[in-house]
Chain A
């Protein structure tokens, strides 16, 4: 205490002086940029979370909707009975085409492959387009 032999009053003054004279600092330039970048990330994350929830909800509803619809259709239309007994000659008509296709499949393989490839390509394009539209709906 040799160098700082100060009275209580002097100490009080010193404390008051030290605290009230503390300079007001300028915030670094990187502060605002840093916060803005983090805020942007947060809002993107929230947006993605929302989009994911909406997608999942839509898919779930679609799935259960299709199952329910199929159930209702089967229940009310009784398709299997209609197919076997309800349409006269229905079974025979189906058998005719099934047998014809199975017999001719080997000779028309190329043509069927072409049709299937074409259908697959169409389905791919349709899916890609649907996904793109889906993204656009839920993006900013």
Chain B
């Protein structure tokens, strides 16, 4: 190796290490602040305490918004899995013109600015006379989650060897049995990862939800945003740390079942 190459290599690794530190900075800060005793976000904290976690229960609207977010994310992910999974099967199996166009259409909400989607939904739902917050959120979040499901399941299904189903049928399985015993287990990793990322995308969404929440029904990101704007204190860091912990657990699950490398390459 020449000197240029060696120094280039060193530079690559230094930048990569710095980037990793940079990426993790906000998460580490949130966790450290949440265990600090100071309410002024002093870093490093003067002492340690659990008081922000104890306060979590008392912050008005936090637990109810968490419940709304989980409900909406679960319903939206399930509906998106069902109709998105069916569509992915049709696209992977069927031979018809415009397949790629339909796949692109189903993933296109990812390309559009979230606020634009939110405004389009707001005007359309108002026109249709839909006033229920919960229903509006659920309908909108299905559109947010479908791209994740359709993209991942479509690429997994195009790689799946469908002659395995014929083999199962030949060996005495009924058609539904062949699906539940061969197709579903084979695609379980794709279902799991696409489901987790769709769920997280819905839980994290603010750009669409912000147009539908009112004083009584809020999703978690909107409630947190209000808290950050009105009375920022380390309670927000505490709820953030819990969310970080939850996501870390889900990612470790993905790593065990699928491998993060495959997810990164999807």
A binds B: no
